[in-house]
Structures are given as C-alpha cells and as structure tokens.
Amino acid sequence: MLRSVMQSINYELAQRISLSSKSINRVVPVMSVICRNNSTFYKPTTSKKKDSTRTPSSPDNPQRTKRRFVKIDSALSKENKYLYTLPKDPYFSASKIKRILELGKAEDALEFIKALPLRLQATATWNEIISHCVNEGRVKFAESCYSQMRKRGFAPNEYTFTHMLKAYVKSTSPNAVEAAEKWFKRMQDFGISPSAIHFTNLMRVYNHNSLPDKTVELLNRMSELNSVAPDTYTYTVALQACSQLTDPIRQREETREIWKQILERAGQPLKSQSTSLLSRKASQVAQEVKYTHLKKLKIDDELVISLIMTAKSVAKNSNDMTLGLEMINTLFSTLPSTAITKSKMVGNLALLRNKQQQGTSMLIHHPFNVKILDAVLRFAKDLEQWEMCKEYFAMAKKLYPNINPDEVIVNMVQTCDKKLSLNGKSSSKRSR
C-alpha cells in the first residue's frame, strides 16, 4: 500500500514539473499526504531564497552595526581613524584619551573630550588630561582643563587635587605657594579630606620655595590630626626641611622629634628618660593610645638614607654626632668602638649597646645594602671621622658578607686611609 501511495505522489509531481519547467525553483510541494498504515503526516519543507545582503544574528555571530566616529578634523584623527571611534562609556573615553596623549598633544586630547557627549565624560577622563599637563609642566593649561571640567558639571575628586598640588611643586612662579595653598583649602568645598599625599605635595612646594618652617608646621598639624598620618615619603620631605632651618638647635630638635615619631610608628618607641617606673609606664601607654588608630609605618631605604643624611647635616662637629650614631645603631645594630669615645653622650650610647647585647627589642634590624652603606660611610667621612668610617666598613663586611661595595665606596675607604696616614705622620712630627 505504501509503495502505491509513493508512486501516485511521484506521478503528480512529474505532471506539475512538466507544466512549469521554466519555474523549477518555485515548485510548491504537496502539502501533506496521509500514510494510512501508520497514520503520520508527510510535510515537506518549503525552501526560501536566502538574502545575501543580511547576516544572521546569533550569539556567535552578532549582527554588525555601523561604526560611529567622533567628528574631529585633525591630522592625528586622519592618521589614527579607528582611535576616534565613539567609546562605549567614560572608562573607554579615558583609555582613548590616554592613547591620544601618547601619540599627540594635550590640545588633541582636549578637542576629543570636548566633542564627546556628556554621558561619555567623567572626572576620570578629565584627570587624564590634567595629569599629563602637570607632568609636562603646563600649569596654565591644566587649570584651563579644570575650568572646562567644572563648566560641564563634573566635580573634582582627590586625584584631581593631587595633580593640581603637584603642578606647583617645581613651579618658578612667585605665586606658587599661594596658589598651592588655595587648591589645598578648596578641597573642603567639595567635602574631600586631605590625605598624606596632599600634605606631602604641599610640603614639597614649601621646600622648593625655601620655606622649611611651614613644612615643619604642616607636619606637626598632621601629627595632631587623628584621621591622617604621615607616610615614609612625608617624613622624607620633612627631614629635608629640617636641614634648611636657620637655627642649628631647632634643626636637631625637629630632626629628633621626627626620629621619635618614626620609631613610635614603627613599633619601637624611644626609651623614656624618666627614672620613675610609673612615669615610664604612663609614657608607654600614651604612645600606644596615640598611634593605635594609625597604620604601622614600614621604614624603607629612602627614609633611612634621608635620616642619616639629615643627621649628618645638623651635626656641626663630632660632638653633635650622637643622634646619627643612635639612628645607625638602632637601624642596623652597628656601633663602632670609636663612636663611644667620640660622642658627647657616652652614657646613652653605652646603654643602647648594652640593650643590643641583651637582645631586647630596641633595635629594628633594617636590611642593609650598598646605598645605605654609602650613606653611613658618608656620615662618618664628611664629619672627618676617618677611623669610624673604616670601622663601619669593616663591620658591614662582617655582618653582611653578600654586599659588593661599588667604586665610590672603595674610594671613600681609601680616602680615609690616606687621611689617617697623614694624621699619623703629622702627629709623629709633633711628638719629635
């Protein structure tokens, strides 16, 4: 029965094809044929002509859309056509601006961002241009970009003020200090609390304009605040100001105060000078309460070198070496024998040496390297302590055998040898 049905179908199809042979591609098959044996339907599919101009849309093959470009007529836009495609969001805008700044100028980036709709702009996109102008020393252009950002209704953030304060760090303008202070105060208008980097940049402006007193005052203001604490870079900048102070006594006092803060923040407070057990305990509790809310300070090489160099600068002669010797001993557990005899405060240094031998926690044991060795040797050499310089070098070689001194360090040690030999000859002539 099935065979007879199929034969009838083929016969009917042959008749239709013979009637319209010229339109063979438009043949309409038989709608349905009942197969009586299994009661199923035979439904041939209809063929549709494919549109070669359309691309099917699917997750793997999305439908193509026409690219939209930012309409700017410039040499850079013509050379980098696809860089000027319209970004999807402000973050893509910031990345495109960064690339434009690498290939072109700040004017190209400003033209690009001004051509963008406001929905594709943000404070981060404007910060890219401002930061670039600051690094290039174009303070006026950075201020102009800030004004353009404010006109479009975008509020500055903490990074904006970081860039604007940095703009006046090396400025030669006579109004640099006044302008930097205005930017620092302007942060309050936007409800932004200054961070350590904002304080540090303002300190750098003061140092560049030879105003060390303002730098020290600003550091003391930071110490009084509970919300922000100086970091290692802040202390490094403040130490540079200490050596610029005109009063030698204040130089040593401010340097010692910074050294005290560093030890307290590092978890190694200075020993109280009081003999009373109750007063020493009260001092220890006060220090713990004062710095409980602050993050523990991690001392780095730059801060260590700045400490040693500042201690050398404020020491006018060998009798003022106590602070520097105390720093070196606390940081590296090295106290030459000549340091005790040359120091004015022999008792204090002897106490530190006894603490070292007893294995107490007075010492920090900072890692030693070539740069720090250079600073330690310069501390002794520039103060004309030739024997101490050689002794520091010998102790460093013994305690840190992996250190490879460079040519500068070797020349310093040789210079100390020559000075000692000359002093020995002069002393022998005097004895005769």
CATH number assigned to the domain with residue range 75-271+281-338, chosen from the 4 options 1.25.40.10, 1.10.3720.10, 3.40.50.300, 3.40.50.720: 1.25.40.10
Q: What is the mean pLDDT of residues 47-71?
A: 55
In terms of pLDDT, which residue wins out, 427 or 397?
A: 397
Q: What is the mean pLDDT of residues 126-146?
A: 95
pLDDT of residue 26: 44
Q: State the pLDDT confidence band at 33, using cuts at 50, 70 and 90.
A: very low
pLDDT of residue 186: 95
Q: What is the mean pLDDT of residues 218-228?
A: 85
Residue 50 has pLDDT above 60, yes or no: no
d(CA 43, CA 26) in angstroms, rounded, equals 17
pTM (predicted TM-score): 0.74
d(CA 263, CA 297) in angstroms, rounded, equals 9
Q: What is the mean pLDDT of residues 81-98?
A: 86
Q: Which residues, at least 6 apart from 324, have a Cβ–Cβ distance to it below 8 Å?
A: 308, 311, 312, 315, 379
d(CA 164, CA 183) in angstroms, rounded, equals 7
Angle at 225 between CA 190 and CA 212, to 5 degrees: 95
d(CA 206, CA 190) in angstroms, rounded, equals 24
- Taking the domains of the chain in order of start, what are their residue ranges? 2-42, 75-271+281-338
Q: What is the mean pLDDT of residues 24-38?
A: 41
CA nearest neighbour of 226 among 290, 314, 301: 290
pLDDT of residue 335: 81
12-21, 110-119, 171-180, 288-297, range with the lowest pLDDT: 12-21
Q: State the pLDDT confidence band at 46, using cuts at 50, 70 and 90.
A: very low
CA torsion through residues 178, 179, 180, 181, sign: positive
Contact 356, 335 (CB under 8 A): yes
Q: What is the mean pLDDT of residues 141-159?
A: 95
pLDDT of residue 352: 53
Residue identified by tokens 């009586």 is: 36
pLDDT of residue 62: 53
Q: State the pLDDT confidence band at 225, using cuts at 50, 70 and 90.
A: confident
Residue 254 has pLDDT above 60, yes or no: yes
Q: What is the mean pLDDT of residues 42-46?
A: 46
pLDDT of residue 294: 64
Q: State the pLDDT confidence band at 163, using cuts at 50, 70 and 90.
A: very high
Q: What average pLDDT does the chain have?
A: 79
DSSP string for residues in 98-164: HHHHHHS-HHHHHHHHHHS-GGG--HHHHHHHHHHHHHTT-HHHHHHHHHHHHHTTPPP-HHHHHHH
User: Structure tokens of 278?
Assistant: 């109750």
pLDDT of residue 346: 47
Q: Which residues, at least 6 apart from 197, have a Cβ–Cβ distance to it below 8 Å?
A: 162, 231, 233
pLDDT of residue 271: 47
pLDDT of residue 201: 97
pLDDT of residue 423: 74
Q: State the pLDDT confidence band at 322, using cuts at 50, 70 and 90.
A: confident
Q: pLDDT tens across 63-72, in order?
A: 556 678 777 7
Q: pLDDT tens across 347-402, in order?
A: 555 545 554 544 444 456 678 899 999 999 999 999 989 999 999 999 998 888 88
Q: What is the mean pLDDT of residues 130-146?
A: 95
pLDDT of residue 80: 82
DSSP string for residues in 304-328: HHHHHHHHHHH--SGGG-HHHHHHH
